[in-house]
Amino acid sequence: MIRVLFFAQLAERAGVAEATVPHRPTPGDLLAGRREWAFVKPAGARVAVNRAWSHWDSPLADGDEVAFLPPSTAL
CATH assignment of the domain containing 29? 3.10.20.30
pLDDT per residue rounded down to tens, the chain (75 residues): 999 999 998 899 889 999 999 999 999 998 888 888 877 777 788 999 999 999 999 999 999 999 999 887 665
- Report the b/e string of 36-61 with b at 16+ CB within 10 A: ebeebbeeebbbbbeeeebeeebebe
Which residues form the domain of 43? 2-65
> Nearest Cα to 47, choosing from 7, 2, 1?
7
The answer to whether position 71 is within a domain reads no
Strand partners, 47: 68
d(CA 59, CA 20): 17
The answer to whether position 15 is within a domain reads yes
d(CA 14, CA 2): 16
The answer to whether position 23 is within a domain reads yes
The predicted structure's pLDDT at residue 18 = 97
- pTM of the shown model: 0.89
The answer to whether position 73 is within a domain reads no
Q: Could you give the number of structural domains in the chain?
A: 1
The answer to whether position 16 is within a domain reads yes
